[in-house]
Chains A and B, each alone.
Chain A
Amino acid sequence: MEDTLTEKLTFKDFQSDQEVRWCPGCDDYVILRSMLKALPEMDVKKEDIVFISGIGCSSRFPYYVDCYGMHGIHGRAAAIASGVKLANNNLSVWMITGDGDSLAIGGNHFIHLLRRNLDINVILFNNEIYGLTKGQFSPTSVIGQKTKSSPYGNTQPPFQPGELAIGAQARFFARIGGNTPKEMSQLFIDAQKFKGTSLIEVMQNCVIFNDGCFTSITDKDVKEDQQIFLEHGKPMIFGKEHNKGLVLNGLKLEVVTIGENGITENDILVHDAKCEDPTLHQMLVRMSHPVAVGIIRSFEDLTFEERELELTKEVRKKSKFTKVDELFFSGDTYEVK
């Protein structure tokens, strides 16, 4: 990563020779294409990029990108990726995971990755269902959702991934609809630039087992009224007419209309993604109308590997040992003559 790239790579350079095997119409194709478009724009050498995944539909992703990759075991991508990053800090490490992989079986690794803040980019494909095992409810399935393992309706309250993540001290959280490739590509580039664990939740439609689960938020016709695309430093304005905005009413976010009841643009909240205090970020994550997309939180902090490297440097400076023989022959040794 240290020297600049001599040749500009393209979409095709990052395509692997493997046939993509997701169901026709799956949002996973959109995510893959967005990634293949973003990768050449990242100023990172191809051989320095590693994709690590767990198990699930999303986790086939590494096979389709011509970088280094490992398709791991269920739920453990975060731990595998952490090992890769700790072994070689120069690598750009991407973790590909789903709502089952990271929020159920791999929940423990997921929260600890966020807490430690390794410089790893995580893409969470959230389709609110188990796809690869053919349609059971997941930790993000809504109450009442009928699935193969909840024929009378789901009774387990769902996680809001962003809420869980920020609770686990995520420094970077973004959310995006699975049908908006351009914005998604840009988020991938932003995640790569961000130093620390960047989590991007993609609201991903599963055409087979949970078709239309995000339609009311992501459909072209409703998108502008149902989503607010947040940008750091900009007022929280949305809507087809670009006249809706968010204000704080006590401890609640409230939607107001600019021009009504004396509200002007100056009354609208300005998004501060970079502040350390996550209170407002949590409120934005939990908001159901409109659904916040874009970078909701992006607070720069020391990464785990930076802390480790710094400490190692200090220990090295003070240590009298550079070779193991010096350790073995030091201290309480004695001679037998």
Chain B
Amino acid sequence: MIIEKINGAGKVAKEVDAVVMRFVGDSGDGMQLTGTQFTDTSAMFGNDVATFPNYPSEIRAPQGSLYGVSGFQVHIGSVEISTPGDDLDLLVAMNPAALKTNISALKPGHMVIIDKDSFNEKNLEKAEYKSNPLEDGSLSNYKVIEVDMTSLTKEAVKGLTLDTKSIVRSKNMFALGMVYWMYNRDMNYTLDFFAKKFKYNPEVAESNARVLKAGYYYAETLELIPVAYKVAPSKMPKGTYRILNGNTATAWGFLAAAEKSGLELFLGSYPITPATDILHELVKHKHFGVKAFQAEDEIAGITSAIGAAFAGDLAITTTSGPGLALKSEAINLALMVELPLVIVDVQRGGPSTGLPTKTEQSDLLQALFGRNGESPVIVIAASTPADCFDYAYEAARLAVEFMTPVILLTDGYIANGSEPWKVKSINDMPVINVKKLDKSRESWHPYDRDVKTLARNWVIPGTKGFEHRIGGLEKDKITGNVSYNPENHEHMTHIRAEKVKGVENFIPELTADYAAEGDLLVVGWGGTFGSLHSAVKQMHNEGFKVGHAHFNYINPMPKNTLEVFSRFKKIVVCEINLGQLSFVLRSKYQGVEFHQYNKIQGLPFSVSDLVNQFKNILNS
């Protein structure tokens, strides 16, 4: 039985540009799958989409607990979508804990769909509700749709021989079916998905299909839920698209770089949240000759990659903050022996174990400075799920062309979030110039350098006549032999710094979007692109002279950085940390005043908060 309690606005069907919804339930309720299915189906329908999975670090936290709530937020639109959205137009809550922890994000007057069956005394107690929110009037600002979802799910699969646990587990598909009908989405994509996924378990495929349809027809036949919103297909550039999350995009960027450069890809890695999915993706691709090696620890992950780089592979290692700390000594070895290596840091909340499943940008200073000695490393950052592809590729290109380690920073937010990717062919990707030397020369030394890039040659074992030794001790500037000579050490220290600095001549300039000059420049880096872009766009549309400059190249920075800064009256640096880029900018560009906006809650920026902050800064 559905009881509708309608309060405030939102009964009449209307066409809107975009809708934000969130599916929340227990960490075993399949909310990630539900969200992914809705996302993919909407993308196929032609919407632009952005997603934000938000889940606890426990795999199966105690049922019904507040900290065990897992959520998946998706933003779909007929317009450009850059973030998973702030406030919700629709909430689907599978139990009291999920309702309690998420209801505040729902816009007043908007709809929350609830599995009424789960609102029993035990679950209410676990969610620390003193009274039942379905009865005490505390939800009077929202449009509450109570559905006996568990019982209806059981009803739908009557006749199948599945156990109760498996049946109840598919109640998420009932909710998905309802939402499909509400937004007029086709069920076929998900039905095909079941058929494929449960190919060898047709009973499970059948039960999921039945429950999905039951939810869909339930919403339709009873006509108790109005089709509140229609979201038309968006006007994206023509082409072939697919939905891609940041970790897969990162893995694919490396696949592309390996094929383009003609090198074999070697990954040395140790599982760590939220970076492990890159390992999961690359181990699948043995057919491309990918050597994905799950090592015994973080240090073996990177040092095996250094060995593979010495032997001539395109070598990478993937990790998150705590793992980057463990790899720092080895990063310096790669820097000293001048071998190409990419270190991917999918940042998460720190310090220490911190918030493994939540996002943060707090490894920037570690990436730049967290090593012994003078240790210049190229540091770049991806800014959206899909452009992880481009920056992984770019990291590989820079590592190989400059014969040096490159740290690629992504974060949990863009690594797990997904968006449409206009599929790229490797024919569209820039050339990667490999520095391998394999023909004998009259005079050759291991530390001879290219005059333009200052990169040394890459001579791999197996090359006759070029046998040489490298190592972590200071090298003679030409022969590469161990040298304790004072002047040589100073020379080599400068050369290593100049080589990395010189990369600025091979990277794109910094641009300011929406305004080339004006009252306020919003500065960010990495995964905050979507939120900053949306906030600046909104203010631009309101007539403010606000520009957005976003750093993907952090060491070195684009050469025109100061020039861009000088065209704005005020500058605000926005980061999901306490001000690490601000710290760097202040030391590099003394005399420039930088305002800061920082948030450090394990969550991305909200666009409305950003807009308020920017307006305050403009008014101050």
Chain A residues at the B interface, C-beta cutoff of 8 Å? 16, 18, 45-52, 55, 62-63, 66-73, 76, 78-88, 90-91, 108-109, 112, 308, 311-312, 315-316, 319, 321-325, 327-329, 331-337
Contact = CB atoms under 8 A, between A and B. Distances in A.
Interface string B265-289: 0101000000000000000011111
Residue among B256, B306, B426, B481 having the largest count of chain A Cβ atoms under 10 Å: B306
B305 A323 contact: no
B350 interface: no
Contact of B469 (A16, A315, A329): A16
Nearest to A321: B287
Contact of B240 (A47, A50, A329): A329
B303 interface: yes
B312 interface: yes
Given A87-B307, A324-B426, A329-B423, A47 B467 contact: yes
A72 B426 contact: no
Contacts of A324: 252, 255-256, 259, 288, 426
A18 B148 CA distance: 81
Given A71-B472, A79-B303, A91-B461, A334 B264 contact: no
Given A68-B310, A333-B423, 7 more contacts: A63-B469, A63-B471, A80-B310, A82-B295, A83-B305, A328-B242, A332-B40
A106 B439 CA distance: 37
A88 to B, nearest CB: 5
B300 interface: yes
Contacts of A323: 259, 426
Given A73-B330, A79-B299, A112-B296, A86 B304 contact: yes
Contacts of B43: 334
A161 B207 CA distance: 58
Nearest to B428: A325
Contacts of B240: 329, 333-335
B462 A47 contact: yes
B287 A71 contact: no
Given A47-B463, A79-B303, A325-B426, A311 B286 contact: yes
Contacts of A70: 307, 310, 337, 469-471
B26 interface: no
A84 B330 CA distance: 15
Nearest to B193: A332
19 contacts: A18-B482, A46-B464, A48-B462, A50-B311, A52-B307, A66-B467, A68-B310, A68-B467, A71-B472, A72-B306, A79-B300, A83-B293, A108-B300, A112-B300, A308-B291, A316-B286, A323-B426, A334-B44, A336-B46
A67 B43 CA distance: 56
B333 interface: yes
A217 B51 CA distance: 69
A67 B468 CA distance: 6
Nearest to B289: A312
Nearest to A76: B303
A76 B330 contact: yes
Interface stretch (B111-119, B231-239, B491-499, B561-569): B231-239
B425 interface: yes
Residue among A332, A335, A336 having the largest count of chain B Cβ atoms under 10 Å: A336
Given A76-B299, A80-B304, A47 B466 contact: yes
Contacts of B333: 72-73
A129 B330 CA distance: 25
A316 B380 CA distance: 34
A250 to B, nearest CB: 38
Contact of A334 (B242, B312, B472): B242
Size bin of chain B's contact surface:
35 or more
Interface in B575-615: none
Contacts of A329: 240, 423, 425
Given A47-B467, A323-B259, A328 B423 contact: yes
Given A80-B304, A108-B296, A334-B242, A90 B470 contact: no
Interface of B: 40, 43-44, 46, 236-243, 252, 255-256, 259, 264, 266, 268, 285-289, 291, 293, 295-297, 299-300, 303-313, 315, 329-330, 333, 337, 423-427, 460-473, 481-482
A93 to B, nearest CB: 9
Nearest to A86: B291
A49 to B, nearest CB: 8
Contacts of B337: 70
A90 B469 contact: no
Given A68-B468, A82-B304, A336 B241 contact: yes
A327 B255 contact: yes
B329 to A, nearest CB: 6
Nearest to A319: B287
B250 to A, nearest CB: 14
Contacts of B481: 18, 63
A312 B289 CA distance: 7
A321 B288 CA distance: 8
Contacts of B426: 323-325
Contact of B303 (A47, A51, A83): A83
A245 to B, nearest CB: 41
Chain A at the B interface: SS class: mixed
B303 A331 contact: no
A315 B236 CA distance: 37
B423 A83 contact: no
A237 to B, nearest CB: 41
Nearest to B468: A68
Contact of B462 (A76, A88, A316): A88
Contacts of A332: 40, 44, 242-243
Nearest to B389: A328
B241 A79 contact: no
A87 B467 contact: no
Contact of B308 (A50, A86, A331, A333): A86
Contact of A47 (B424, B461, B482): B461
A219 to B, nearest CB: 35
Nearest to B44: A334
Nearest to B263: A87
A328 B236 CA distance: 19
Contact of B239 (A79, A109, A321, A335): A335
Give 4 closest A-B pairs by Cβ, nearest first.
Answer: A83-B307, A71-B471, A319-B287, A83-B304
A80 B423 contact: no
A337 B237 CA distance: 8
B76 to A, nearest CB: 14
A71 B469 contact: yes
Nearest to A331: B242
A68 B463 CA distance: 9
A50 B461 CA distance: 7
A83 B259 contact: no
Contacts of A84: 307-308, 310-311, 461
Nearest to B235: A336
Nearest to A21: B482
Contacts of A327: 252, 255, 285
Contacts of A72: 303, 306, 333, 471-472
A66 B469 CA distance: 8
Nearest to B252: A328
Contacts of B299: 76, 79, 109
Contacts of A312: 286-287, 289
A264 B388 CA distance: 74
Nearest to B291: A86
Residue among A46, A62, A66, A328 having the largest count of chain B Cβ atoms under 10 Å: A328
A321 B286 CA distance: 10
A336 B239 contact: yes
Given A63-B469, A63-B482, A322-B287, A45 B305 contact: no
A37 B480 CA distance: 26
B241 A335 contact: yes
Contacts of A18: 481-482
Given A72-B303, A328-B252, A83 B241 contact: no
A88 B242 CA distance: 35
A62 B287 contact: no
